[in-house]
Amino acid sequence: MNVIDTRLPELLRGKRPLLGMFVGIPAPSLVEMCGHAGVDFVIVDNEHGPAGIESTEHMLRAARASGVIPIVRTLEPDILRVLDIGASAIQVPQVNSAEQARRIVAAAKYPPIGMRGAAFSTRAAGYGFFAGDRHVADSNAGTAVIVMTETRAAIEQLDDILSVPGIDAVFFGPNDLSFSFGHPGQMNHPDVIGAIEHGIERALAHGVAPGVLALNPEDFHRWRQKGARYLPMVLSGLVGNALRATVAGARSTGG
């Protein structure tokens, strides 16, 4: 089989809302658990998480083994390395202009579409077993590009950003938006909600899948009903909530 899971671009073009999970702890076992639980995708968080390139590679292997699509949230300079180790998609934070979006697409795609550097000895090319034209075609068609719009400036430039060919999804980060709009940490502030709803509308108009953070199933369904189709939760938050509830239940005086 091919090393790269190439399902995501087609899924993002579909109508079914996709449930994902941010995994910020560099543990392949957590990725496997997400796959066994049935989530559609995991996001290895290399923006705020501590994983190095080798840990990330092992997490991508765990995703392939458990059948879940692996995305890496990565800073722009690391795009090539992340794709060479077999990520199915990149999710790049703080995209504020069409020029930056074009640069990201170019870094993610081989010529003639983009300017990605080629090396067929990589894990993504099966260490040479899936090299050449097959690897190039699979990578260009099956690797998704997801941009994150997290500032007032990005919202103001959104139509230009979404007009860039090669963008498969746009993710609206409510926490950073709350800071940018002057309401730090207030992710449900009307200004933040209004910006995200506007963003979803514009993304759908451009044929780009809109994505929003969902902290719980209620958030998932709320944003799904607004038109969002790319909806990750946060694994550490879910584990933390479960731990708090378990400890509270065990220490309660009832029972």
Helix extents (H) in 75-165? 79-84, 98-108, 133-142, 152-156, 158-162
Single-letter amino acid code for the residue at 4? I
At 253 the pLDDT is 79
At 190 the pLDDT is 96
At 235 the pLDDT is 98
Residues 36, 48, 135, 206: which is the catalytic one?
48
Those residues of the chain that have pLDDT short of 50 are none
pLDDT in tens, 93-126: 999 999 999 999 999 999 999 999 999 999 999 9
Q: Domains of the chain (ranges plus CATH)?
A: 8-247 (3.20.20.60)
Q: Is 189 a catalytic residue?
A: no
At 255 the pLDDT is 57
At 97 the pLDDT is 97
| C-alpha closest to that of 175 among 218, 219, 212, 208 | 212
At 238 the pLDDT is 97
Q: Give the integer Cα–Cα distance in Å for 249 and 255.
A: 10
